[in-house]
Amino acid sequence: MRLTIRDTKEQVGSYIADYIVKRINDFVPREGHPNFVLGLPTGSSPLPVYKRLVEAHKAGKVSFKDVVSFNMDEYVGIARDHPESYHTFMFKNFFSLIDINPKNTNILDGEAEDLYAECHNYEAKIKAVGGIDLFLGGIGADGHIAFNEPGSSLQSRTRIKTLAYETIIDNARFFNNDLASVPRMALTVGVATVMDAKEVVLIVTGQNKALALSQMIEGSVNHMVTASALQTHKWALVVCDEDATSELRVKTVKYFKSIEKVQDEVEAKYGAMGKDKLGQGRITAA
């Protein structure tokens, strides 16, 4: 795992967006995997990323025409056009502002007649396009990834999930502070679905995510902090702001900062060679 630290959440957004733009532009279509496949989150953390991606698109630096997207999750029990649905979020903050083909966007349908089938088909669809190239995500204050609340199996797949009481209370502010109208159920990709992605990039910003960040990086792999599963992913990148490092040990921060520095040096010295040796299409010092 790599941890990249930036001063502000806007800088985190820019860093990740530029990173994704590069991935999309470098992508070479191949047999059985004709499109770049992007996993996408909702919430406040990714907003700066989307904002920057839209800017890059407007500046002509990237096109999403051939990108296929899969969203992480969606509530069950609220209409697709509800202001708080993840369909609305994605349309408002990203899809309507770029040139992505609507046919290439995938979001779990929380209104589906058969929710089991919906989840099962979602996994099949991901497989059919050749798997996810880059899964962008955030983490909850309790270290959850997607709606994989503490205690979720680290082998989980796309499924129906009960929201933790804490999440429901936290979400009440989006539903007129009326607990009864907050959805209690969601469809979400599983931890294993995220882990299957070739590359995972996490956005972690703000003081309130500091404890979760330290637990997922410095703690052990634990189903109570589902994002910690990424410790075993071979190609995971966490980008956080200074606020989110508050609970990390100084040693940890220094280590990851030195990685970034060494990375720059390696890149300057070996260039393409390091890329080939690692067989990952990129140089990494992690």
Partner 1 sequence: MPAPVPTDIIRFTNGYIALADGTAVKADLFVSPTLGKIVSGQETFFSARLQPARTIDLDGGLLAPGLIDVQINGAYGVDFSELDIAPGGEDVYLAGLDKVAERIVETGTTSFVPTIITQKEELYAKLLRLLSPRSSPNAAHSLGYHAEGPFLHPERRGAHNNALLLTASTMPPIEAFDKVYGAEGLDQPGVKMITAAPDVEGVMACVENLTSRGVTFSIGHSDADLEQAQQAVDRGARMITHLFNAMPPIHHRDPGVIGLLGDTTRRPYFGIIVDGLHSHPNTIRIAYGAAPDRCILVTDAQWIMDPNLADGVHHWRPGFAFRKEGLRVVIDGTNTLAGSAIPFAECVQNLSKWAGITLPQALVCATAHPAAMLGPHVAEHKGRLEEGFDADMCVFDWDGRVRSTWVMGKEVFRAADVCDGDILRPRNQVNGKA
> Contact positions toward partner 1, by CB under 8 A?
80-81, 87-88, 91-92, 95-96, 99, 101-103, 105, 107
**Smallest distance from the beta carbon of 100 to partner 1, in angstroms?**
8
Is 196 labeled as catalytic in the residue annotation? Answer: no
**Smallest distance from the beta carbon of 81 to partner 1, in angstroms?**
6
CA separation for the pair 20, 239 (Å, rounded): 13
Nearer to partner 1, 4 or 85 (CB): 85
CA separation for the pair 164, 148 (Å, rounded): 9
Nearer to partner 1, 37 or 139 (CB): 37
Count the alpha carbons within 13 Å of 112 in the hemisphere toward its beta carbon: 19
C-alpha distance across the termini of the chain, in Å: 6
Place of tokens 């309507």: 96
Among 236, 238, 189, 177, which Cα is nearest to 212's?
Answer: 238
Q: Please answer whether residues 72 and 177 qualify as being in contact, where contact means their C-beta atoms are separated by less than 8 angstroms.
A: no
Compute how many other C-beta atoms are within 10 angstroms of the C-beta atom of residue 127. Answer: 11
Is 144 labeled as catalytic in the residue annotation? Answer: yes
**Smallest distance from the beta carbon of 92 to partner 1, in angstroms?**
8
**Smallest distance from the beta carbon of 65 to partner 1, in angstroms?**
10
Nearer to partner 1, 61 or 80 (CB): 80
Q: Please answer whether residues 205 and 9 qualify as being in contact, where contact means their C-beta atoms are separated by less than 8 angstroms.
A: yes
Strand partners, 148: 145
Nearer to partner 1, 91 or 175 (CB): 91
Catalytic pick among 118, 133, 142, 196:
142
Is 142 labeled as catalytic in the residue annotation? Answer: yes
User: Which alpha helices (H) appear in 136-203, and where do they start and end?
Assistant: 165-171, 191-196
Catalytic pick among 74, 133, 149, 199:
149
Nearer to partner 1, 103 or 251 (CB): 103
**Smallest distance from the beta carbon of 176 to partner 1, in angstroms?**
18
Active site amino acids: 73, 142, 144, 149
